[in-house]
Structure 1
Amino acid sequence: MASTTTTQIRVRGRPAHTAGPTYLSYTPDGTKLVTVGSNNTTRVYKTGFDGEPTNIDDCQEQNMGVDSTNDFFVSGSEDGTVSKYSFDTMSCDTFLMRCTLPIRDVCISSDGKWCAVASDELVVKIVGTSDASSMMYLREQLKPVKHISFDPSSKYIALSCTDGLVYVYSLLNDEPELVRKVDGLIRIVETDSEISSKVVWHPDGRVFAAPTATRDIQVVSKGDWENQRVFANGHSSDVTALAWSPNGAMLASAGKDRKIIIWETKTQKIIASYDYANVMDLAWHPTKNLLSFTNADGEVYIFNDFIPAEYANLLKLGLQPAPFIHDPLTETSANSRRQTTNAAKEIPHRGARRGTPDSLDDILGSDIMGDEDDFVVDDDGAGYALGLNGNGKRPNGDIDGHAGPLSKRPVHVWEPQFHQSFQPGSTPWRGNRKYMCLNLIGFVWTVDQDTHNTVTVEFYDHEFYRDFHFTDTFLYDKACLNENGTLFSSPADHKTLATVFYRPHETWTTRTEWRTELPKGEDVTAISLSESFVTVTTSANYVRIYTLFGIPYRVYRQKSSPTVSCASWRDYVLTLGNGSVGADGNTKLLYTIQNIKRDEICQSEDIVALPDGATVKSVFFSDNGDPCIYDSTGTLLVLLHWRTPSQASWVPFLDTKLLSRLASGRKTESYFPVAVADNKFHCIILKGGDLYPYFPRPLLSEFDFEIPLSSNPKPDSGDGDQDMDATEGDELKKLESQFVLKSLLAAQQQDLVDYTKSSHTQRTALARMEVEIDKTLLQMMAVECREGEERGMRALEMVTLLRDRSGRMIDAAGKVAERYGRTVLGEKIREVAEARLLNGMDED
């Protein structure tokens, strides 16, 4: 990794404490710097004042940690005492708590209400700063904790334990909850060691960094807890201190190699290096080009203009993004709606991004981020991320040039939200890897290796297919997989054009893989692969069709735009695009289905049936060739009568929220759609709040179709009569659901028989479905007959729904009525049979 030469500027250390571990903390407003050390004196330095600091005497000795707010600071000592000091009186205000073993670290929450305390005891305690009787306990770790660190929102806290694990707790509820143990990040370090294993949160709250056993600094993302970028090849010995700059644009680290290194966050490159020995703690000034640090000799260094002039502008930027391998804010999400950019809009203040379409809540889940985690990137240092109050206005008294004349002030313009494009069956990047395709044939995944990617294609059936992998220099980000081959596409950048690549599995000649490039300025939004064609939708709203041998077959511009996704089956292609704006401010999602080979449009720009605010998570064809969508409400919908123009309707075949496995309410899970085959919904069950599957490869699950007619049955009440009624009611509901489902499946089969060159097997299957529907109706009728004569009208209606015209099923219905002694019903059934017979004779 490239680095600058060691900077020769040196500052003189100020004797602050007796020789020994020394620690420091800036107040959030930057006016004061507090240092503690081995002696019983605490020093408070005034920023910009070169005179003597204010001394607070008669403090505890051997202080091992300090943290401050604008009004007070807290220190912890080896005698187990945690003391709170007031800046107003410059004296000890109170003892917050006492431990039986030495204190190792203290950390105050961003709102100043809580102070976390780590000691040589196993339990980490979080005490109220204004009420010491308020206490929370973190008990899951098996060994003492060396370092503690709140995230910027103070909703999570990370503990660096001496067992080599990082324990992350959620503080969202009254009782802290362990959400993750991060293994393989920090090394095993004893509590009294000068080596650091401290977790430091990036100011935007989405990642933290920690020193590793290899002397690098690894970044880990919150939520998925995956390794992101790494600051490598800087220190030749163990790291002793670590700190982000206030805006997250830089990272400072100190090591036992006598170096302080400044890294640029965006590139992970070294921009400055200084020689200082025995550094134990680092603290950036909140606003100035000033970094202070302490060493094991009791000295404090206050280093003005610490960042070289050529990089000082980095400190003037607004809050910078964390160093992801693939930043989720820049990745397309299947579940997000994003605003258009074709109109002027008011630039939001720092706290204004929550709830906007590109907020992290929409991408990572609302429970991952807190209110203070939202940010605006100020790339050019123009101050867009600063200075607006909660109403989006400048505060009183601010008369600088930001406001400008009325005609040039930013105007808030309402803008519609549209469906972002997505690739069915794929997942976003997590760390350095992602799934590009997941289906019943196999799966395709890729690993980012910085200079290239490594793509792996694996199959479930190894008797017919062979797994393969290859080095990917095109950086493919989308893939499709079927029985014939694998399709890939790569995005365009400033150097290369967007590329489509098809690789067949096996051929009777030499494998004829092919690759083609899209025109300049055009990017791939989605791809699909059938046994006949390759379909590519693009950012120019073109739909490009190729044969399986790479021959361009058709190109046309999609009417609905921007394009969203596509799916294909045999000669049919389904495309999704944004249409007109609905009452909820979201664009209507439109779909078109056409037969490419016959050049026939089956459905043209019809509306996808979605509830307000819902989005499509995946679109695909079933194994029988019926279009399916799975939406963000957890509902699987299948398109019925889609071969007849203007007759198609989206029918819910399964609502996963109503699955019986969720009836108890104790289980919380979601589902990643994979396919519809054999009249079942195939998916991956996601637990623990996950939004997408991850590695190792998850197992596939399947659920039978279940038409959402009613809620899950309630638990038994204990009343015998009521339980019997409930049992019969549940039986009838189950039969009703089966009747509707079988009727819909029969309608699908009827369309298949009517509009294709159906086989004898398909026609026989349809006849068998008709019989099963009638059997279900007879079972429903039997339940009604058991209920009594007063249910006779409902039972008779079921007889009229029988599909059999031979009279055999009606005769069976008469026998059911006779069995339960329903004489009147039996007479009515005979009348229905006679009427059908007469109608049949009239038709003849």
Structure 2
Amino acid sequence: MAWNPSMTTQKEIAFCDCKGYLGLLENVTAQAEGKANKQSAKVAISLTAIAGDDDAEISISQIKKDTGFPTNAVDGQDVFTGFQSYSMDFDVLDDGASKISSRPSSPLAGHSRRPYQSSSKKRDPFQPGSSPVHLNHRYMVWNNVGIVKCFGEEGDQSASSIEVEFHDSSIHHGLHIPNTLGHTMASLSSQSLLLAGPAQEDSPSRIVCVNFAAWDGHKEWATTLPLGEDALAFSAGDAWVAVATSRNLLRLFSNSGLQRAMISLPGPILCLAGHGSKLFMAYHSSVGMFSEQSIGYALVGIDRKSPIGYEWLVNPQTLPLGPECDLSWAGFSDEGTLATMDSSEVQLRSGMWMPLLDTRQNVKGKSDHYFLIGLSELEKCVRCVLCKGARYPPTLPRPNMSLLDVRLPLCDGANEKTQLEEALIQSTLQIQLTGTLDQTGFDVDDPRNKADRLSKESLMKMFALACQAEREVRTVEVAEWMPCEQLLQLAVKYATRARKRQLANRLTEMAEQLVRDREAEETLLMEPTRTSYLSSNASNNTLDDDRDMFISTPPVFKIEGGNNMCARKVCSRRDQK
């Protein structure tokens, strides 16, 4: 409960229940005790009249219903659903007592004076790259490693079979597995194959893993979840397997079947995705508003050398989705960057979420959709399957995979200026990506050189285009993006030839400032090296002085019998020398 800070003008108190429903009281004023008792009696009479002429006393349930807090018949708890459409007889309170606001609780409440209630249905857990379970012939998973398909007969789940096909046969040969356990989910990586299904009346949920990297001859292992706990989503990564269950638990195993420490999920799981040592999890964080889905996500790093080696790479936060869109795919790019796809848009998380491609711009029919398989940042393409008149591809015949170029949804896409801006953004992202991949051992010299050349060409073309349009402020902004003084010198030459003296002078000052800043950075970088060099020389000189001190001291020979003259003669001769 909270009141309006400006109580002198707007006497309002807002209140909210535990489920997020909001109410508002207006004209809240202080009053004397006797007057309050009198007004309370009038309120009681009015409420009794509303409850019904036959009721002899106040009906608490009717009061709750009239004020927007009816009792739920299922669990017996009060739920705020909004005020009734009729106007309650509270005119007796016009002289200062509280009056329930006639303002609708939300813009969608309208004249019914009911607050907005979310009509969005909670999305069931799913496996990225899979088709619905109710299909007889379906894809259990289709990703960059291979395809897992399930062929079944209607009404006979035990007669179904599972086929596994790898894009690269050097990883493993194809598999044909009888689906006697009724598996409905699958996850495929270069190291393992996961299969699982829901619990049945006579058997609990069971997880089966085929470890391709096993060298002892025992490639398959299985485990059973506790009674009442179902596997809802799972994923495999580098030497680990993760399973999210109906108890909001994340169970982790090694590829050989060793159990690791469990993690409690922040909410009901939606999907999992893995790449290397990184695990992505999407979950329902709260009830969505205005037909929106409220999805949260987190990114966990898993250390294979410790049974409790977990690290939050990205703390739990809200996953951005388009308006009235559902999460349809989640995974990683070939380079290991987190990516998602909602009902129409592919977006990439490179520091922050950036939309890469609007797939609705590439389809002809309203009922056509793209089924996402994977994407590559270096190649700037998205691998997907065009589904005409459906959302999921058919199993037979197997459809062809399409390559869509990454196209940023910028304004005025057909404009030359926009095309140059898009090329600059993509090349800058690639330069940043190659710098990260270079630290992990990837050979990115060729992509980095291409991206650097494209970035410089785009900057110079944008500069020339702004000069031709007499946009000198824009040209200065473009020049601020130039990373080196060579580009600034080219810009100065272009401005001079275009007879823009003021612009050329400003760019010359920018180039000189850039050189001074770079020299200052180099000086700061060289200062620690110089300090360490001087300290090492000082220590070496100290050692040399100590050695010289011992060397310059003449030796003194002691001869028994008191021949001290011999010692003096030897010392005097050495001094003369």
**Structure 2-normalised TM-score?**
0.64
3-state SS of 1:793 partner? helix
- Aligned with 2:459 (options 759, 777, 793): 777
For 1:792, the aligned partner's letter is E
Alignment of 1:128-143 (within 5 A): none
CA distance in 2, matches of 1:675, 1:628: 9
**Change beyond 3 A, Cα 1:426–1:711:** farther
For 1:503, the aligned partner's letter is V
Number of the residue aligned with 1:738: 423
- Does residue 434 in structure 1 map to residue 119 in structure 2? no
Number of the residue aligned with 1:238: none
- Aligned with 2:220 (options 513, 522, 526): 513
Q: Deviations over 1:275-327 (max 9, x none)?
A: xxxxxxxxxxxxxxxxxxxxxxxxxxxxxxxxxxxxxxxxxxxxxxxxxxxxx
- Aligned with 1:670 (options 361, 369, 372): 369
For 2:275, the aligned partner's letter is W
- Aligned with 1:620 (options 326, 331, 349): 331
**Change beyond 3 A, Cα 1:344–1:744:** farther
Shift of 1:342: 7.9
Alignment of 1:188-587 (within 5 A): 417-429=121-133, 431-449=135-153, 450=156, 451-462=158-169, 464-505=171-212, 507-559=214-266, 561-584=267-290, 586-587=292-293
For 2:440, the aligned partner's letter is S
**Change beyond 3 A, Cα 1:741–1:414:** closer
Q: Which has the larger radius of gyration?
A: 2
CA distance in 2, matches of 1:496, 1:749: 50
Number of the residue aligned with 1:803: 483
Shift of 1:440: 2.1
For 2:310, the aligned partner's letter is D
Number of the residue aligned with 2:295: 589
CA distance in 2, matches of 1:486, 1:520: 24
Shift of 1:697: 1.2
**Change beyond 3 A, Cα 1:731–1:542:** same
Number of the residue aligned with 1:651: 354
Number of the residue aligned with 2:94: none
3-state SS of 1:554 partner? coil
CA distance in 2, matches of 1:742, 1:833: 23
For 1:800, the aligned partner's letter is E
**Change beyond 3 A, Cα 1:694–1:820:** farther
Shift of 1:696: 1.5
CA distance in 1, matches of 2:366, 2:329: 24
Q: Deviations over 1:435-462 (max 9, x none)?
A: 1011122211111242332110112233
For 1:686, the aligned partner's letter is C
CA distance in 2, matches of 1:582, 1:822: 55
Shift of 1:792: 2.4
Shift of 1:424: 0.7
Number of the residue aligned with 1:67: none
CA distance in 1, matches of 2:328, 2:367: 19
**Change beyond 3 A, Cα 1:570–1:464:** closer
For the 8 Å contact 1:658–1:708, the answer to whether it is kept is no
Shift of 1:527: 1.1
CA distance in 2, matches of 1:651, 1:493: 42
3-state SS of 2:280 partner? strand
For 2:508, the aligned partner's letter is R
CA distance in 1, matches of 2:203, 2:224: 9
Shift of 1:782: 2.4
CA distance in 1, matches of 2:275, 2:317: 19
Shift of 1:796: 2.1
**Change beyond 3 A, Cα 1:487–1:741:** same
**Change beyond 3 A, Cα 1:821–1:698:** farther
- Does residue 841 in structure 1 map to residue 519 in structure 2? yes
For the 8 Å contact 2:381–2:406, the answer to whether it is kept is yes
Shift of 1:657: 2.4
**Change beyond 3 A, Cα 1:496–1:820:** farther
3-state SS of 1:522 partner? coil
CA distance in 1, matches of 2:262, 2:289: 33
Q: Deviations over 1:604-632 (max 9, x none)?
A: 21100113321100110111111111001
Number of the residue aligned with 2:403: 702
CA distance in 1, matches of 2:168, 2:118: 52
- Does residue 636 in structure 1 map to residue 346 in structure 2? yes
CA distance in 1, matches of 2:389, 2:293: 32
Shift of 1:507: 4.2
3-state SS of 1:420 partner? coil
3-state SS of 2:430 partner? helix
Number of the residue aligned with 2:559: none
For the 8 Å contact 2:148–2:164, the answer to whether it is kept is yes
3-state SS of 1:458 partner? strand
For the 8 Å contact 2:281–2:298, the answer to whether it is kept is yes
CA distance in 2, matches of 1:413, 1:816: 61
**Structure 1-normalised TM-score?**
0.45
CA distance in 1, matches of 2:241, 2:281: 13
For the 8 Å contact 1:417–1:586, the answer to whether it is kept is no
Q: Deviations over 1:163-200 (max 9, x none)?
A: xxxxxxxxxxxxxxxxxxxxxxxxxxxxxxxxxxxxxx
Among all aligned residue pairs of Structure 1 and Structure 2, give the percentage whose two residues are the same amino acid. Answer: 24
- Does residue 685 in structure 1 map to residue 386 in structure 2? yes
For the 8 Å contact 1:684–1:693, the answer to whether it is kept is no
Shift of 1:497: 1.3
CA distance in 2, matches of 1:343, 1:682: 48
CA distance in 2, matches of 1:578, 1:462: 38
3-state SS of 1:583 partner? coil
Number of the residue aligned with 1:34: none
CA distance in 1, matches of 2:212, 2:179: 18
**Change beyond 3 A, Cα 1:826–1:667:** farther
CA distance in 1, matches of 2:117, 2:222: 43
**Change beyond 3 A, Cα 1:770–1:343:** farther
CA distance in 2, matches of 1:778, 1:624: 29
CA distance in 1, matches of 2:130, 2:74: 29
CA distance in 1, matches of 2:464, 2:346: 31
CA distance in 2, matches of 1:816, 1:511: 70
Q: Deviations over 1:246-286 (max 9, x none)?
A: xxxxxxxxxxxxxxxxxxxxxxxxxxxxxxxxxxxxxxxxx
3-state SS of 2:482 partner? coil
CA distance in 2, matches of 1:577, 1:497: 24
CA distance in 2, matches of 1:414, 1:526: 26
For 1:735, the aligned partner's letter is L
3-state SS of 1:552 partner? coil
* More strand per residue: 1
- Does residue 759 in structure 1 map to residue 441 in structure 2? yes
CA distance in 1, matches of 2:253, 2:183: 19
Number of the residue aligned with 2:317: 606
